[in-house]
Structure 1
Amino acid sequence: MGPFNNFTEEQALMAGIQSACIYAQEHDLQVTHIETSHLDVFELIRLQEHVPIPEEQLEAFHLFNTVHANHYVEGETDRRISWIPEHMNEVRRQWETYSSLLDRDMGMIIANPEVELLPNLGMDEVVDGPPPPANHPKRRISSSSFVDDETGMENAFLDIGFLHGKEDSLLSWAFKTPSCEQKPPVFKVSPFKSAAVMFGDRDKGKAKMYEDYAFYDDGHLSKRAIEMLDSGALLHYSDAFGEKVLDLETHVANGFFAQDILHYAVLDTLGMFESMLEDKHRLVANIMSSKKMKLMPVDSVLTLMGLDEDAPQPSNKRTRRASSV
C-alpha cells in the first residue's frame, strides 16, 4: 500500500488491518489470520466494548466492525487477530520494507506530493553567501580635531569619554557652545519624538544617542541650536540652558528633558508643548514653603468642627424633654 502520510501510527495500522479484511473478502478467504506488533492497537480491538475509542479512530473501528458483520458466514468464516512481539517479527518487517521500496521503484504506489515530491535543491549545491562587510577602522576623535585654524576657536564638539579611552565616563554629553559658523543641518526627524523613545537607542552606542535630534549635526551642535542658547530664550524653561556646560539629561518639567526642549526649539515647534511644560500643581507640591496660601487659624477650625471645649454644647432631645416634664 505504500507509506501512509499524515497518518498517526495507530491510524496507519488500522488502515492496514482494514485493507487485509477487504483483500480477504474480495478473494473469498474465509480463514484469515492478521498479526500486529502494536500492543495498544491489539488491546483496543480486543477490548473496544469496554474502553473508550479515540475520536480519530472511530471511523476506522466502525468500518472494521462493519466488514466483519456484513460478510460473516457462520461455520465457515474464521478470522483472527493476534499480537506478536516486535523482536519476533523483525524478519517480516524487513521484508515489508523491502516490498514497499520495490513497489515504489516499480511505480506501483501513489505518491503524496507533500512528502514524496521533494523540492529541487540544485543537486546539493552550496551557494556561497555575500562576503562580510569590511571592517572600517575607527577614528579616534580628540578636541584638537575641532580647532578652526582661521578663528582659533573650538567648534561645538561632543566630549565623549569612551572616545578618549576613559572607562568611567558619564553617559551624558557635555557641549561647548561658542558662536561659530557651521553648516545648517538637514532635519529628517519627527518633531514629536520624545525622550522615552530616544532612550531605547542607548544600546546602539553613545555616538548614536542624539543623531535623531534636530540640534545634532554630525557630532556638533547645529547653528540654530547655538543661536538659541546664546540668545537666552530657553532660560525661561530651565536654568540649565545658561550653564557653561550644558547637560542634556537635565529634567526640565513633566517628563521633558533639556534635550527635548532644545530639539523642539530648533524645529520651531516648542509652542505646541507650552501647556505640557506648565506645572499645574505648584502650590500643592510646595505647600510647606508657599507664602501665597492663607490658612485658617486652628482655633477657628476647632470651633467650626464643634471640638472647642469653651464653645456652648447643644443639649440633646432627651434632656430637653426631661426638663420640660
Structure 2
Amino acid sequence: MYYLCVLAFLHIISGLNEDEGFMWGVLTGCIQALQMGFERTYIELDHEDVFQNIRYQEHIVLPPELDEVFRRFNSLHAIHYNRGVTDRKVTSIPLVMNRTAEYLARYGMEHMSVFAEVPDSFADLQSFLDRDMGVGLPFQVFEAFGLGDVID
C-alpha cells in the first residue's frame, strides 16, 4: 500500500485562498501519484472544509473559485479509475494526529525546491512518525539535552 500525504500551505501557492490552496495541493499530489503508477492512494486532509467539499460535492453548491480544481480532480479520478484495481480514499485527520505530514511539508518548503522521495529517516522525522503511530512520547526527547554523556 502506498500512502500520499498532501498538505498545501497558503504562502507557497500565491493568490489563492485557503480552500483553493489545499485543493490544488490535493490535485497536485494525485497527479504525481498517477505519474508514479500508484494504484492505491490515500489522501489525509487536516482541513475539514475541503474534506466536506470533496465528500458532499454533489449535494452542495461549491464556491466558484473551486470549480476548476474540482473539475480537474473529478476528471482525473474518472478517467484513470480501474474497477477492482484502483483504490483512492480521502480521509479527514486532525493536524494533531498528523504531525509527520506537517513536518515533511515544512521541511520541504524550507530545504527543497522539487518533489523528492526520502530514502531514509532524517533529522527529527522518526520522532514525529513514532508519535503519530502511538509508540512515541508526545514530546521530543533529546539525548542528554545536547550536553554529552550524563554521569550518575
TM over 0.5: yes
| Structure with the higher fraction of residues in helix conformation | 2
- Indicate whether 1:60 and 2:64 are aligned: no
Distance 2:56 2:43 in 1: 17
> What is the CA-CA distance between 1:92 and the residue it aligns to?
2.2
Which 5+ residue runs of structure 1 have no aligned equivalent? 110-325
Amino-acid identity (%): 35
> What is the CA-CA distance between 1:70 and the residue it aligns to?
0.4
SS in 1 for 2:37: coil
State the Cα RMSD in Å.
1.8
| One-letter identity of the residue aligned with 2:19 | E
State the partner residue of 1:26: 35
State the partner residue of 2:103: 94
- Indicate whether 1:42 and 2:51 are aligned: yes
| One-letter identity of the residue aligned with 1:72 | Y
| One-letter identity of the residue aligned with 2:91 | S
State the partner residue of 1:15: 24
Distance 1:30 1:95 in 2: 23
SS in 2 for 1:23: helix
> Which structure exhibits the higher relative contact order, with contacts defined as CA atoms closer than 8 Å and separated by 6 or more residues?
2
Distance 2:87 2:30 in 1: 12
State the partner residue of 1:247: none
Matched ranges for 1:232-311 at <5 A: none
State the partner residue of 2:3: none
Structure (1 or 2) with the larger CA radius of gyration: 1
| One-letter identity of the residue aligned with 1:101 | E
> What is the CA-CA distance between 1:24 and the residue it aligns to?
1.4
| One-letter identity of the residue aligned with 2:75 | T
After TM superposition, where is structure 1 displaced by more than 2 Å over at least 4 residues in a row?
A: none
